[in-house]
A and B are shown apart, each in its own frame.
Chain A
Amino acid sequence: MAVDASTSARGDLILKNLTKSYGDFNAVDDLSLVIPKGSFFALLGPSGCGKTTTLRMVAGLEEPTAGSIFVGETEITDMKPYRRPVNTVFQNYALFPHLSIFENIAFGLRRRGISDAEVKTAVDKVLNLVELPQLATRKPNQLSGGQQQRIAVARAIVNRPALLLLDEPLGALDLKLRRQMQIELKWIQTEIGITFVHVTHDQEEAMTMADTIAVMNKGKIEQMGTPEDLYDSPKTAFVANFLGQSNLIPGEVSGNDGNNLIVDLFGTKVAVPKARSSAHGSSVLVGVRPEKFRIAAEGKSTHGNVLTGGVVSDVSYIGVSTQYQVEMPWGKEVMVFEQNDDDEEMLRKGAKVVLSWEPLFTFALDGSENAAAGSH
C-alpha cells in the first residue's frame, strides 16, 4: 500500500455539537466526541439510537442539521463524500456486483488516478492481508458472506484512509464466523494502525474489539470508556442493562464506612465502594452483576455482603453455568449466574437460599434512574 490519500488530513476525529433532526425528532442530539487517531472506537446502542446516522454524517452520506466534523485540523462537515479522507465498510458490504474482486478493491485507487502497476501491488498486498489472494478474478456473488465481508474491508483499507467507518459489518454473518471476524478485524486494525469507528448493537462485539466504547441512547452518548470501565462501573441504568445484565435494587444510603457507603436494602445493610457510586443523593440503585453473586442453601456460612430470605423460582442449566432466578423477600426477582465448577448439588426450584458477594463488585446508580432502561 504505497499510496496515501490523506497525509495532510491525519489526526483525531472530532465531532462538535453534531445534530441531525428529522422534523421534530432528533436522531442525533448535540453530540460532541473526540476519537483519537489510531484507536478502535465502537459506537454501541440499540437500533434507532442514532449511531448509524452519526457514522453516515462522518462519511458524508447524511447532512448534519447542526454542528461540525473535523479530521485533525481539517473541517469535513460540508465536504462531498468522495473528497473525504474516510472510507466505509457498508452493512451488507455493497460490493459492485459487475466488477471482479480485483476491480472492486482497485475502484478507489483508480478513481485517484494511481498507475496500473501501483494498483496491482496495492491490491495484491491487501488481498494477502485478508488472506484471500486466490479470489481476485471472481465476482462478488461467487463469494461466501465471510469472504465478501473481508473484501469489503480490503476495498476500504486499500485506500489508507485517515478513518475507517464500519457500519454493523458483521451483522449478516453467523455467530461462529462473527467471532472469527471480530478477531481478524482487530488484528487488521492493529496491523495497519488506521482509526476504526465501528457501529454495532452487539455489546459483545463492541467489547471484544474496541479500545473505547461510547454507548448511545436516543441520540446522545450515555457513557464512554474502556470495556472494563463500562462493565464494572456503569453510570446509568441504561448502560448497566445494555452491557451485560445487572440486578438493580433500590436502597437508601444510611452511613459511611471509610471507602464504602453503607446502603440499606429493604432492611439489610450492604457496603458499596464510594468510587463506584454515581448517585447524587441518598436514594440509590445498588447494582450487582449476576455472575458476582454467590448462591448457597440457607444456613451455610457466608461472607461479604449478604442477602437472606431468597427462594429459587427458576433454574436453567446452560452447561458452563447455571442461571437462577431468585425471588427476594421484597417481591422482586434477581438473576444469579453460578459457574458449574464444583460438585455442589444444583439448587432446586423452591429452595431457600442466601446470596452473598464481595462489596468490591458492587456499583451504585442514582435513585432517580429507571431500573428497567436498556434491558434486553
Chain B
Amino acid sequence: MAATKGISVKSFGLKDNRSALPYLLLAPGLIYLALFFVYPIIALGQMSTKTSSGEIGQYEQSFRFANYVDAFLGSKEQFSRSFIYATIATLLALAIAYPLAYAIAFKSGKWKNVLLVLIVAPFFTSFLLRTIAWKQILGEEGPVIKVLRGVHIISPQTSLTATSFAVVTGLAYNFLPFMTLPLYASLERIDPRTLEASGDLYANGFTTFRKVTLPLSMPGVVAGTLLTFIPAAGDYINAAILGSPSNKMLGNVIDARFFKIVDYPTAAALSFTLMAAILILVTVYIRKAGTEELV
C-alpha cells in the first residue's frame, strides 16, 4: 500500500505536471473502460428504473425505484444462496489452495515451474466444458459416486448432481487457480530466513506458521479470496449445469430475466443490487484484513 501511494504522489502529483507520459500510459485503459464499462453501467442504471411501455421489450423511463424493491423481494432466496454458496466455495478453495501453494512455494524444488503451469492448465479448456466435465465426474456413471456408494458414505438412492454440493464444489474447482496463484505469489516472497529466525527464537513448526508464515501471506489470502468470491457470487453456469431448480443463484435469475422473460428493468435492478452488495462486503472485508483482526 505504502509503495503504491509513493508512486502516485511522485508521478501524478501536481508538482510533476510537466510530463504527459503518465496520462498517455493511462489513456488506452481509461478509454477502454469508459467505453465498455462506464457506458454500459450508465445504460444499465437507466434501464433499472424504466417500466414497460406495453409492448414486449419496449420500456420507457419513469424513474420507478420501486423496481429495486420488487426485484429484491422476488428473488431473496437466490440472492442469499449466491452469497452462501460463494462463501463456502471460497473457504473450500482456500483450504485446498493454501497447502498447494505452500508446497509449490517452499517444497517443490525444480518442479516449481511445472506445477505452476499445471495450476493454470485448466484454463486451456473453456469454463463451460470444465463445468460439464465436472458433471460427468459427479454423475451416476462417474467414479466419485461409485466410490462413495461403495464405502457407504452415501446411500444408493442419493445423487451428487443437481445438488448444492455439486454447485459449491464446481465453483470451488473453477476458481481454484484464482485462489492458488495470489497465495503462491505471497508465500514465495517470504524470506526463508525469517522462518529460520522464528525457529531460532523458540517457535516450533506450527507456531512459526501461525505467527510468521500466515500473517506474511495475508495479502495473498485477501487477494485470492476476493478473486474467488466475487466471480463465484455472480456465477450462473455452475448452478445451471450442476444444480437443480432449487439451487439457483442470483446469476440464474438475472439470466432468465434478461434472455427468457425479457424483463430488462428487473434484470438491471438485480445486477445493480448484486454489485452493491459485493462492493459493501468486499469493502468491509478489506478494512478488516488491513488491520490484524483476521489473523
Is A376 on the interface with B (CB-CB < 8 A)? Answer: no
Q: Is the CB of B201 within 8 A of A111?
A: yes
How many Å lie between the Cα of A298 and that of B77 in the bound state?
107
How many Å lie between the Cα of A90 and that of B200 in the bound state?
10
Is B227 on the interface with A (CB-CB < 8 A)? Answer: no
Contacts of B197 in A (CB 8 A): 88, 90, 94-96
How many Å lie between the Cα of A80 and that of B207 in the bound state?
14
How near does chain A come to B248, taking the closest CB pair, in angstroms? 42
Q: Known contacts A97-B216, A98-B215; is A90 also within 8 Å of B201 by CB?
A: no
Q: Is the CB of A92 within 8 A of B202?
A: no
How near does chain A come to B93, taking the closest CB pair, in angstroms? 24
Contacts of B246 in A (CB 8 A): none
Q: Known contacts A90-B196, A94-B191; is A155 also within 8 Å of B216 by CB?
A: no
How many Å lie between the Cα of A60 and that of B207 in the bound state?
17
Q: Is the CB of B196 within 8 A of A61?
A: yes
Q: Is the CB of B202 within 8 A of A108?
A: yes
Is B282 on the interface with A (CB-CB < 8 A)? Answer: no
Contacts of B212 in A (CB 8 A): 96, 98
How near does chain A come to B126, taking the closest CB pair, in angstroms? 40
Contacts of B115 in A (CB 8 A): none
How many Å lie between the Cα of A83 and that of B203 in the bound state?
9
Q: Is the CB of B199 within 8 A of A81?
A: yes
| Closest chain A residue to B190, Cβ basis | A97
Is A159 on the interface with B (CB-CB < 8 A)? Answer: yes
| Closest chain A residue to B192, Cβ basis | A94
How near does chain B come to A375, taking the closest CB pair, in angstroms? 32
Task: List residues of B (177-196) whose CB comes within 8 Å of A's CBs.
Answer: 191, 193-194, 196
Q: Is the CB of B202 within 8 A of A111?
A: yes
Please encode chain A, from 150 to 169, with 1 for each CB lying within 8 Å of some chain B CB and 0 for all others: 00000110010000000000
Q: Known contacts A96-B194, A97-B194, A98-B216; is A87 also within 8 Å of B200 by CB?
A: yes
| Closest chain B residue to A83, Cβ basis | B202
How near does chain B come to A187, taking the closest CB pair, in angstroms? 23
Contacts of A107 in B (CB 8 A): 198, 201, 203, 211
Is A82 on the interface with B (CB-CB < 8 A)? Answer: yes
Contacts of A112 in B (CB 8 A): 202
**Size class of B's contact patch?**
10 to 19
Is A209 on the interface with B (CB-CB < 8 A)? Answer: no
Is A59 on the interface with B (CB-CB < 8 A)? Answer: yes
How many Å lie between the Cα of A108 and that of B211 in the bound state?
12
Contacts of B216 in A (CB 8 A): 96-98
How near does chain B come to A58, taking the closest CB pair, in angstroms? 11
Is B204 on the interface with A (CB-CB < 8 A)? Answer: yes
Task: List residues of B (215-266) whose CB comes within 8 Å of A's CBs.
Answer: 215-216
Contacts of B194 in A (CB 8 A): 94-97
Q: Which of B196, B204, B207 contacts A94 (CB 8 A)?
A: B196
| Closest chain B residue to A152, Cβ basis | B197
Task: List residues of A (46-103) whose CB comes within 8 Å of B's CBs.
Answer: 59-61, 80-83, 86-88, 90-92, 94-98
Q: Known contacts A94-B191, A98-B216, A111-B207; is A159 also within 8 Å of B201 by CB?
A: yes
Q: A82-B204, A83-B202 are in contact. List 16 more A-B contacts (CB 8 A).
A: A59-B200, A90-B197, A94-B194, A94-B196, A95-B197, A96-B194, A96-B197, A96-B212, A98-B212, A98-B215, A98-B216, A111-B202, A111-B207, A112-B202, A155-B201, A159-B202
Residues in B lying within 8 Å of A, measured CB to CB: 191, 193-194, 196-204, 207, 211-212, 215-216
Question: Would you mind naming 17 contact pairs between A and B with Cβ atoms under 8 Å apart?
Answer: A59-B200, A61-B199, A82-B199, A87-B201, A88-B197, A88-B200, A91-B193, A92-B191, A94-B194, A94-B196, A95-B194, A96-B212, A96-B216, A98-B215, A107-B201, A108-B202, A159-B201
